Chains A and B, each alone.
Chain A
């Protein structure tokens, strides 16, 4: 099977890295449509966690608590729901995204890949693939979550911006940690434990931005500032990962 997959990449050393990355992306998508391992794992995992969260929080429905200024507010409000959605997506990412690197190592196709394209192309291809899969998963899971928990989208453009930038940054972190963990022996246990501490920071930023979805504000700066934090985080991670990827990838 490995040979069939890579036949599309034969004699492509004269291609640019973008073309190579796209070839790898097409190959991964093709393999994914055949086996559906990553999407299936993440889909089932996140749906199960969705049920767990919805069931665990069902008792909080309609409960009012006093906030610091003495007003009665819902115990489980929209930004709380949004935070839990992101916890769910973080776990989902770490359930499925290690697959893209692990199976290259397991099937022994990693060395073939090393012959055919540079590390930058591999990184770009894998990042593109992981982002696509994660976006697809969150596209399925988010509406389900909104129906089951009754979460509002709030300000729609902000909501979409948070989902998009958050998912992209999340997959940037997950991709580089997956590449690191795939080189170790006990990959599965390592992946989540190494990646989640880095995601906690991202989660704080996303929660901060998510709060802004439910606050009406006249100035665009109020919306843009928390988004910039998330986007910068993702861009910095991608830049450093791209710079250092050949140290991870090559022996």
Chain B
């Protein structure tokens, strides 16, 4: 196996981990935002 391919393979693993964490965080962020909006609406009522 040549060095370039190895480097790409080594890159792929942390990349997948990071993307997993990132999109998980984005989902949490959306959920928290929605809950905070509900909370402030409830306070106004």
Are A and B close enough to touch in the complex, i.e. CB under 8 Å? no
Q: Which residues of B contact A (CB under 8 A)?
A: none
Q: Which residues of A contact B (CB under 8 A)?
A: none
